[in-house]
Chain A
Amino acid sequence: MSNQLFWEDVKEGSELTPESHQPSTRQLVQYAGASGDFYEIHYDKDFAIGNSLDGPILHGALKSAFLGKFMTDWAGPLGSLKKLSCQYRGMDFPGQVITAKGTVNRKYQLNGNCLVDCTIWLENPSGQNTTPGTATVELPSKGDSNG
């Protein structure tokens, strides 16, 4: 497994390592099958254009899945995701690279848990933030004997 991040090592204001994806229409079909969301705007070009879109668009929930992966990768096997929020402000299209980015907003302890709040988002190839969000993760502390 990856190197585990500990709460003590996190600095407020620091950046999370970005993660990029380039979903194809094929991946959108795969996501449709896995999630059961077969709405045609995600893989049928004529249908998408008929719905005033420029073409098939990514499922919003696939974008939130990318942000979920981004946070669980960062938190490591001993960390856990407590909250994940995002808004689909801009549309993202298959074939384009989208990159998950984030910064550490705040680290704090609450009821004995070591928590970190992050600002996260997805960026399209023009550098626009299409999917702003936030996340809270719980991280292990070096003081935990059962780490």
Chain B
Amino acid sequence: MTTPPSFLTAEMREQAIGTQSSPLTMEVEKGAIMKFAEAIGDSNPLWTDEVTARKSRYGGLIAPPTFLRSIRIERPELPFDLPFTRLLDGGSDWEYFQPVRVGDRITAKNEMIDLQERVGRMGLMIIMTNLITYVNQFEEVVATQTNTSIRY
């Protein structure tokens, strides 16, 4: 058996885990919610119909669950270069705490919480896990997203 190729060292993992990118703030616009809802084919009146949403327990339009993906927060930069240029999204775990409303100012923070390597169908892959925390203008955490991405 040949030894699988390896890139990551324990030292590199230690350097990378815990790094954070600069926070990014976005104001939630009504038009952005509606465009997003249309793009995902979701006509739920809570995010598309102002009159119905006004009468709902939210008192106005709110954003669909994955709308926060439109805050394009960067992943923290690694303290070393990866020998790969290709990227795939591996999946996300979302947790929701507060509704996201039109007019909210949401600040996203992105922290690298894990870094692993694996040998897959397409050769050596680096698996990054990032925790993205979304906070509104009242300092409430509205949601968290733990995202896995694959470099190959």
Q: Which residues of A contact B (CB under 8 A)?
A: 1, 21, 23, 27, 30-31, 33-37, 39, 51-52, 59-62, 64-66, 68-69, 71-73, 77-78, 80-88, 133
Asked if B92 is at the interface (CB within 8 A of a chain A CB), the reply is yes
Nearest-Cβ distance from residue A3 to partner chain B, whole angstroms: 14
B90: Cβ under 8 A from any A Cβ: yes
Q: Are B69 and A37 in contact (CB under 8 A)?
A: yes
Q: Min CB distance, B142 to chain A, in Å?
A: 12
The secondary structure that dominates the B interface is: mixed
- B residues less than 8 Å from A34 (CB atoms): 32, 35-36, 38-40, 70
* B→A interface (CB under 8 Å): 32, 35-36, 38-42, 44-46, 52, 56-57, 64-66, 69-70, 72, 86-96, 99, 122, 148
- Return chain A residues, CB-CB under 8 Å to B38: 30, 34
User: Looking at the complex, which one of A30, A72, A80, A88 makes contact with B39 (CB distance below 8 Å)?
Assistant: A30
| Docked-complex contact B66 and A85, CB < 8 angstroms | no
